[in-house]
Amino acid sequence: MLLPELAQIEDDHESVLHRVISLSLNAHWQVIGQRTVKSAVTSMLSQSNGEPPVLALDLELDENGQIIYSVPTAWDEWVQLPIREGDFYIQMGKGRVRAPLITIARNFAKMPRKAPRLSNAAIHERDGGICQYTGEKLSRGEMTVDHVVPRDRGGRDEWGNLVTAKKQLNHDKGNRLNSEVGLKLIRTPKAPPTVPVSSTVTEARHPSWVPFLIKS
């Protein structure tokens, strides 16, 4: 069930509500995720011991993207803020309200960690683009992903069973085991370490995000 104030948001602004353009920060103003405007508003309307656990950041940047001012603001004060040129807004029963594009979890100081998503690109990155049988550095067009234990021999799609390999070598191996074709891995494949969530959010979906993203 929606909270009473959130339920008043008019349907013609659903496209703004469901856009993932709200950046989440912890109490130290470090990035801990991204979410929809609707989720950000819902968190601002929640209560913990009589106080809002999540504040929105009233932020203004200069022409160079540097912060002019930044003020953590509770919902009751947030709804009084003016809609500036270029601001996203949501239409509520009481009128237009600026969309919160950055929120701060004031009582959450931790940094969540995230396991990389299993994919061919992630396997190639883990292995540094090196064939795990020959040690050869491969170009993008030369590499593929090999199942150490082939699928039809019971092998699974998991970090410990997937390695970067040269396409021709993988083709020649077919559905045979390494022991059957005389292949040896140069290292045992395993899942890469988890990384801070802050390092996984690299794309600024709004200019206001830029000062908070880790510079690569």
Positive or negative torsion for Cα 195, 196, 197, 201: negative
Q: What is the average per-residue pLDDT within 73-98?
A: 90
pTM, entire model: 0.71
Q: What is the average per-residue pLDDT within 41-63?
A: 88
Contacts of 192 (CB under 8 A, 6+ apart): 115, 116, 122, 126, 159
Given a contact cutoff of 8 angstroms between Cβ atoms, the answer to whether 197 and 113 are in contact is: yes
Task: Please say if the pLDDT value at position 13 is more than 90.
Answer: no
Q: What is the average per-residue pLDDT within 156-164?
A: 97
pLDDT tens profile 88-117 = 999 887 789 999 999 999 999 999 999 889
How far apart CA 206 and CA 204 sit, in angstroms, is 5
Q: What is the average per-residue pLDDT within 66-80?
A: 95
Task: Please say if the pLDDT value at position 14 is more than 90.
Answer: no
Q: What is the average per-residue pLDDT within 154-172?
A: 97
Looking up tokens 């819902």 gives 42
pLDDT of residue 216: 58
Domains plus CATH for the chain?
Answer: 4-113+196-212 (no CATH), 120-181 (1.10.30.50)
